[in-house]
């Protein structure tokens, strides 16, 4: 395994992840080496972006069956991992519809795979920061305001895409009530008790 620098570029991170996945498939790495390589990648934003863009679209057994060492490695960088997992769920959900509109079923299925794998990782990583980012992104998708409004506006998602983003995020996180329900409750007038005359 080559050392992974904190100054790694996005392109270098893609190449490093491709190499890592090939070595995993060939049973050339110990669980500890797998953990250390992924942990090193996700310590920087470029490294994490390169890792996820490669990992989430790969045919590797590690992508289909995430290991405990992968999950622990992702937990080692909660802020970066939380942000990217939440955005990956949202963007892939929206892109699925874009590809379907363009009648590109192969790309639509690829986006669905990224969405499903990202959602599965959110549940496996299972840390508050990931759920918090997902809830904030969900709130922005519902209200058109909040901390992720600029992100959603930058990508120009329409109402149908935002609905799919909401559904994907709700499916990825454990939510006792949806954002829509809590917003409706805030807007509703207080219930008054009925009393008999």
pLDDT digits (tens, 9 = 90+) for 77-122: 999 999 999 999 999 999 999 999 999 999 999 999 999 999 999 9
pTM, to two decimals: 0.83
pLDDT at position 6 is 79
Q: What is the spatial distance between Cα 124 and Cα 64, in angstroms, rounded to a whole number?
A: 13
187, pLDDT greater than 60: no
Whether the CB-CB separation of 37 and 29 falls below 8 Å is answered with yes
Judged on CB neighbours under 10 Å (0-12, 13-18, 19+), 121 is: buried
Using a pLDDT cut of 90, give the percent of the chain over it: 82
Q: How confident is the model at residue 4 (pLDDT cuts 50, 70, 90)?
A: confident
28, pLDDT greater than 80: yes
Q: How confident is the model at residue 66 (pLDDT cuts 50, 70, 90)?
A: very high
Under 8 Å CB-to-CB from 37, ≥6 apart: which residues?
1, 4, 16, 20, 29, 73
Task: Give CA 185 to chain center in angstroms.
Answer: 28
pLDDT digits (tens, 9 = 90+) for 158-177: 999 999 999 999 999 854 34
Q: 3-state class of 184 per DSSP?
A: helix
Q: How confident is the model at residue 149 (pLDDT cuts 50, 70, 90)?
A: very high
Under 8 Å CB-to-CB from 99, ≥6 apart: which residues?
105, 107, 108, 110, 111
């Amino acid at each position: 395994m080559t050392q992974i620098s904190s100054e790694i570029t996005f392109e270098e991170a893609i190449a490093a992840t491709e190499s890592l996945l090939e070595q995993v498939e060939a049973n050339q790495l110990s669980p500890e080496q797998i953990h250390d390589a992924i942990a090193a990648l996700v310590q920087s934003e470029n490294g994490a972006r390169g890792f996820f863009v490669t990992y989430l679209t790969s045919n590797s057994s590690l992508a289909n069956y995430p290991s405990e060492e992968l999950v622990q490695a992702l937990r080692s960088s909660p802020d970066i991992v939380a942000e990217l997992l939440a955005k990956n769920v949202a963007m892939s959900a929206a892109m699925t519809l874009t590809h379907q509109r363009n009648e590109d079923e192969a790309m639509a299925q690829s986006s669905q795979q990224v969405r499903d794998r990202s959602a599965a990782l959110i549940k496996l990583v299972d840390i508050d920061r990931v759920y918090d980012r997902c809830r904030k992104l969900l709130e922005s998708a519902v209200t058109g305001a909040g901390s992720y409004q600029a992100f959603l506006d930058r990508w120009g998602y329409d109402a149908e895409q935002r609905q799919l983003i909401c559904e994907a995020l709700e499916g990825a996180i454990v939510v006792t009530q949806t954002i829509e329900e809590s917003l409706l409750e805030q807007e509703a007038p207080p219930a008054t008790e009925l009393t008999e005359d």
